[in-house]
Structure 1
């Protein structure tokens, strides 16, 4: 599988117990949605390898999973910090006004006056359900400043995937 077909939904943080279970850090919302996928692709040493998810469950504030072929602690530890992904065609269909974060990476961010603020470098959850986009300078940017913009309806007015742009109500002096 090529990186272009796989989208990262989380990562394995470490081993859990002695029977090969792994602790999972999920980027999905809710976090348990990652367990809905019966096959995970795990990137180890730059290569994606397919693993069947035998079991998965919440454990404390996180998730743990049992993967086919990973049956002891040493094998589980060998997956430490490896990305978990799935093929794009397995992602659920979204409503018209919804987007996956990976679709927004690289889009130009332009304010209502047509000023280019930069392009989306990443999105992250800042806690409490608040999403933030990191906007880095790009060709045509008003300046070389990196910005953190709240990804909320008050500031994000339109996402145009086909046009490669996000329109925001944001003053470049902020």
Structure 2
């Protein structure tokens, strides 16, 4: 798949809200309500069935988002949708600002130290709250804080490379 066609997972349906078909979403966008800016959505049920929806509206409510899907007006329908993932093509997202990156764009990049020691490739990233962490799979797994310029010295998409200031023994 071309990078622009890769799907980006933005959230998941986690429950019903009320009895009129409102849907509780978990959103991984920043801010959480930005999920509504990226439509249409591809919905993928836990069983693997896919469909497309657009025109979804919603608002923040506690730790979740409450959404209204067109033509969904019944709580039973919503409960059958729990666990459904929400994604969009990578091309639907705006370009990142300078020195900002979408995690999916970093996945698969090679990681080397400033001294040229190969550590492996980016498997995935996760957030600790304090900072993001790059998980590098190579001869062993390494977790490197994605802190620029302290640990991450450069990201070069042309060279498919991240250069880090990191002790290869750590």
Pair in the same fold by TM > 0.5: yes
Give the Cα–Cα distance (whole angstroms) in 2 for the partners of residues 155 and 80 of structure 1: 39
- 1:123-138 → structure 2 map (5 Å cutoff): 123-128=125-130, 130-137=131-138
Give the Cα–Cα distance (whole angstroms) in 1 for the partners of residues 83 and 134 of structure 2: 23
Q: Choose which of 139, 161, 164 in structure 1 pairs with 2:160.
A: 164
Give the Cα–Cα distance (whole angstroms) in 2 for the partners of residues 127 and 72 of structure 1: 37
Give the Cα–Cα distance (whole angstroms) in 2 for the partners of residues 162 and 48 of structure 1: 34
Q: Which structure 1 residue ranges, 5 or more long, are not aligned?
A: 138-143
8 A contact 1:109–1:117 mirrored in 2 = yes
Can you list the C-alpha shifts for 1:77-105, whole angstroms capped at 9, x where unaligned?
22222221112222112234322111111
Backbone CA RMSD of aligned residues: 2.1
Give the Cα–Cα distance (whole angstroms) in 2 for the partners of residues 47 and 63 of structure 1: 23
Partner of 1:141: none
Q: Which structure 2 residue ranges, 5 or more long, are not aligned?
A: none
Give the Cα–Cα distance (whole angstroms) in 2 for the partners of residues 95 and 70 of structure 1: 36
Partner of 1:173: 169
Give the Cα–Cα distance (whole angstroms) in 2 for the partners of residues 164 and 48 of structure 1: 32
Give the Cα–Cα distance (whole angstroms) in 2 for the partners of residues 15 and 133 of structure 1: 34
Give 4+ residue runs of structure 1 displaced > 3 Å after superposition: 2-5
Return the TM-score normalized by structure 1: 0.85
8 A contact 1:53–1:65 mirrored in 2 = no
Alpha-carbon distance, 1:38 to partner: 4.1
Give the Cα–Cα distance (whole angstroms) in 2 for the partners of residues 25 and 12 of structure 1: 6
Q: Choose which of 113, 116, 126 in structure 2 pairs with 1:114.
A: 116
Alpha-carbon distance, 1:47 to partner: 4.1
Return the TM-score normalized by structure 2: 0.87
Give the Cα–Cα distance (whole angstroms) in 2 for the partners of residues 5 and 145 of structure 1: 27
Alpha-carbon distance, 1:21 to partner: 1.8
